[in-house]
Amino acid sequence: MNLGEMRDMVGTILDYDPEVQTYQDEVTDVINQIYMDFFSDRRWQFGQKLVNLTARADRTIAAGGYNGGSGTPTSDILIQTATNFFENWMEGQVISITGGTAIPASPTDTQVRSEYNIQKVVSATQALLGSSAFSTTQSANGDATFTVKSRFLDLPYDTIAIMSLGVRDIFSDTGPYANLTKHLDELLDVDIDQTGRPTDWIRYEDETMPHPRVAPTLVISAGAPAVPLAGTYQIKYTYIHRGNGRESAPSPASIATTYTGGQRADVADMQDSGANSGLYKQIYVKTPESTAYYAVTNALIDEATKTATGLAVSASYLTSSQRAPEHAGHLMRVRLYPRQSTDLKVQLRYLYRPPMMLDDADVPQFPSAHHRYLVYRACQELFVKHSNLQHSEMYRRKADKELFKIQQRHLTEGPTSWIKRGYRETELYTAPTPSLTTLG
């Protein structure tokens, strides 16, 4: 049963289905809210995903340079190496800087001995740490030691809860990791810089990306690339880090703009995220074919650039392009203990949040035999709005009965194990006969 069919069924049960878009949108919102609550309520077998995360070992180089002096505008945030060192994944990670011979511009210059977050990887030999990272008297003449530490693992944006974390790679040492709580982490004063073979994972502080507050503007222009078909278009955009893929919540939507065949859609009035901030812009477009916003194939827009010429929409965007994020830029992170001393492929099993159903053809991501649960629960909510508490209670009971069926069939199995007991032999039973019992 797809979204359109569920909404029609709700209208039939309520005997009220006006052809008013605001009411249809309200019913869709009710169904989606129930859908999200249902998925996050229990550890459903159909609501789990298995993904591999890359935990990288430390990277170290003893040929780093920096200058906190005022010789150039970015001298207080630029670090560099004599050879290729920086990689895209290092963006947002921790870098430890120690040692080095001071640049002889001042006899009072000192060296840095501290940790920073890499704000932006400029090239294989340059990175930015953010404004005023060093004082004007701190410098190193190309012989400082840089150590980049992959201290945190970013979890997928659709993560609701972690179910297991460990190594299941046949080419590595396998084994599950235990959950070390933050309380024990602090109570035991666990060494945050110890490296080795991880045995535990610690849920660390979540992070939320800053998001654009300014709505973009669609401009009608001539030339290529033309919009794929005539009709009304809207756009949103997000901030995104190129290196680690972290992405913010979308901006407000642009004003709906109508295009005819052959016209080009240009973008203006995007928000400046600040030079060297590392916050590039990804544009998403809503076409006449869909209610959802899909990523365009244009390259990411630079931090300080506010315009884009021509929205390039893939011919297969409905199946191949990423939809605009619904996670509000909120990211869950974990820390491994000890921190990995070699590159590891860590397997994560987690409860996920499904995408909302926006188009009439969208279907829920759980077994179709139970799709009517969403209909019953939506009727329970909407009968209250219609001041019909008797029918609301009736459909609450229907929904609860359907929920019980789903629990019986699709909840994760409990921790049950079968243990073979000792053999027994008597005059009656001359052959060994094992018996089984259960735990859990």
113: domain CATH number is 2.40.30
Q: What are phi and psi of 91, to 5 degrees?
A: -60, 125
Per-residue pLDDT of the chain (440 residues; tens, 9 = 90+): 999 999 999 999 999 988 899 999 999 999 999 999 999 989 999 999 999 999 999 999 999 888 775 444 444 578 899 999 999 999 989 999 988 777 765 555 566 778 888 989 999 999 988 766 677 677 778 888 999 999 999 999 999 999 999 988 766 677 789 999 888 888 888 889 999 999 999 998 899 999 999 999 999 999 899 999 999 999 999 999 988 889 999 999 999 999 998 899 999 999 999 888 889 999 999 999 999 999 999 999 999 999 999 999 999 999 999 999 999 999 999 999 999 999 999 999 999 999 999 999 999 999 999 999 999 999 999 999 999 999 999 999 999 999 999 998 898 665 556 666 555 555 555 555 555 555 44
Peptide bond into 367 cis (omega under 30): no
Domain boundary among 98, 128, 149: 149
Number of Cα atoms under 13 Å in the Cβ half of residue 239: 21
Domain boundary among 100, 129, 149: 149
Q: Would you tell me how many other CB atoms lie within 10 Å of the CB of residue 386?
A: 13
Residue 425 lies in a domain: yes
Using alpha carbons, list the distances in angstroms from residue 352 to 84, 159, 254.
38, 5, 30
For residues 77, 82, 84, 88, the Cα torsion angle rounded to the nearest 10 degrees is 0
Task: Please tell me whether residues 377 and 438 are part of one structural domain.
Answer: yes
Which residues is 411 bridged to in the sheet?
Answer: 44
> What's the pLDDT score for residue 77?
73
CA distance 376 to 360: 18
CA distance 428 to 190: 60
DSSP for residue 175: E
Task: Please tell me whether residues 94 and 62 are part of one structural domain.
Answer: yes
Instruction: Give the three-class secondary structure for 389.
Output: helix
CA distance 27 to 12: 13
> What's the pLDDT score for residue 102?
76
Residue with tokens 């209909």: 375
Residue 388 lies in a domain: yes
Residue 243 lies in a domain: no
Give pLDDT tens digits for 289-326. Answer: 999 999 999 999 999 999 999 999 999 999 999 999 99
Residue 397 near residue 27, CB atoms below 8 Å? no
H-type helices in 321-419, by residue range? 372-385, 389-410
How many structural domains does the chain have?
A: 2
pTM here? 0.86
> What's the pLDDT score for residue 368?
94
CA distance 422 to 394: 53
Peptide bond into 225 cis (omega under 30): yes
Angle of helix 3-14 versus helix 372-385 axis, rounded to 10: 40
Domain boundary among 124, 149, 174: 149
DSSP E strand stretches across 6-158: 48-55, 59-67, 78-81, 94-98, 114-117, 120-123, 126-128, 139-149, 153-154
Residue 74 lies in a domain: yes
CA distance 351 to 156: 10
Q: Would you tell me how many other CB atoms lie within 10 Å of the CB of residue 433?
A: 10
Instruction: Give the three-class secondary structure for 45.
Output: helix
Contacts of 37 (CB under 8 A, 6+ apart): none
The one-letter amino acid at 174: T
Give pLDDT tens digits for 92-117. Answer: 899 999 887 777 655 555 667 788 88
Domain extent for 398: 1-41+366-440
Nearest to 103 by CA among 60, 136, 148: 136
Task: Please tell me whether residues 30 and 64 are part of one structural domain.
Answer: no
> What's the pLDDT score for residue 103?
72
Put the strands of the sheet holding 175-176 in their side by side order: 48-55, 344-352, 159-167, 175-176
Task: Please tell me whether residues 67 and 25 are part of one structural domain.
Answer: no
